[in-house]
């Protein structure tokens, strides 16, 4: 099982999108998380089974709310 979290710092908070799935290419969105930057640092250090990726990693993603790639 793959758990992947895309994250971005906005002010004093870390905004995250969590995905999970059986294999690469088949990850479904599980939900959104927002936490303080200090909390995120502790979460990241303890959640070693999650792949952490910055939100601005250069990939274009489909945004269903906008109907286009963002």
Identify whether 50 is part of a domain. Answer: yes
Q: How many domains does the chain have?
A: 1
For residue 45, give the CATH number of its domain: 3.30.420
Identify whether 52 is part of a domain. Answer: yes
Domain that holds residue 35: 2-56
* Element (DSSP H or E) covering residue 38: helix 37-46
The tens digit of pLDDT for each residue in 9-28 reads: 999 999 999 999 999 889 99
Identify whether 67 is part of a domain. Answer: no
The answer to whether 14 and 8 are in contact (CB under 8 A) is: yes
The tens digit of pLDDT for each residue in 27-70 reads: 999 999 999 999 999 999 999 999 999 998 655 555 555 555 54
Report helix, strand or coil for 55: coil
Identify whether 42 is part of a domain. Answer: yes
Predicted model pTM: 0.76
How many Å apart are CA 60 and CA 50, to the nearest integer?
A: 21
């Amino acid at each position: 099982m793959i758990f992947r979290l895309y994250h971005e710092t906005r002010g004093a908070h870390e905004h995250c999108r969590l995905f999970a799935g059986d294999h690469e290419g088949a990850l479904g969105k599980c939900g959104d998380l927002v936490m303080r930057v200090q909390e995120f640092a502790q979460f990241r250090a303890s959640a070693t089974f999650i792949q952490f990726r910055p939100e601005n990693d250069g990939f274009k993603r489909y945004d269903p709310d906008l109907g286009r790639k963002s």
